[in-house]
Amino acid sequence: MVTDAMITGEQLSIEFEHRTPKIAKLTENCIASTAGDALVHTELFDAVRGEVGSLKSPSITDIVSCIKRCFTELRQRDIRERILNPRGFPDIESFYRVQEELVREVALTVHSEIDEYEFGFFKKCLFAVA
């Protein structure tokens, strides 16, 4: 698997070469390459390595399941920190419990922000298995 070293800042409209590879070794026989926000992938793959490292001979299905679970957890954490906590909601369950009591426009705005939230502009992830 081969990648370039270009880092793109979605918010700033900049691109530059970086020395850090865009390939991550997840297990002895599995590497992943990504497109999108490089910092998010680092955090995601660190979490995946931590979970997969405790498994004996994980299959690709195990690794993909782990990536999905870690991605969901990190995305939900970001939604809590960026959307819910500033509005006084400790978690998404609290928001859903009281949403009918909120001003309709507020509830719809929060729903929309949650639905449209892109965790680190995560675009795609490719795997190679040896």
Q: Where are the domains of the chain?
A: 6-129
Which token pair is 66?
Answer: 């782990």
The dihedral formed by the CA atoms of 52, 57, 59 and 65, expressed in degrees to the nearest 10: -20
Output the pTM of the full model. Answer: 0.74
Which residue matches tokens 């859903």? Answer: 96
pLDDT tens, position by position, for the chain (130 residues)? Answer: 666 666 655 555 555 555 566 677 888 888 887 766 666 678 888 899 999 988 888 888 898 899 889 989 999 999 999 999 999 999 999 999 999 899 999 999 999 999 988 876 555 555 555 5
Separation of alpha carbons 111 and 76, rounded Å: 13
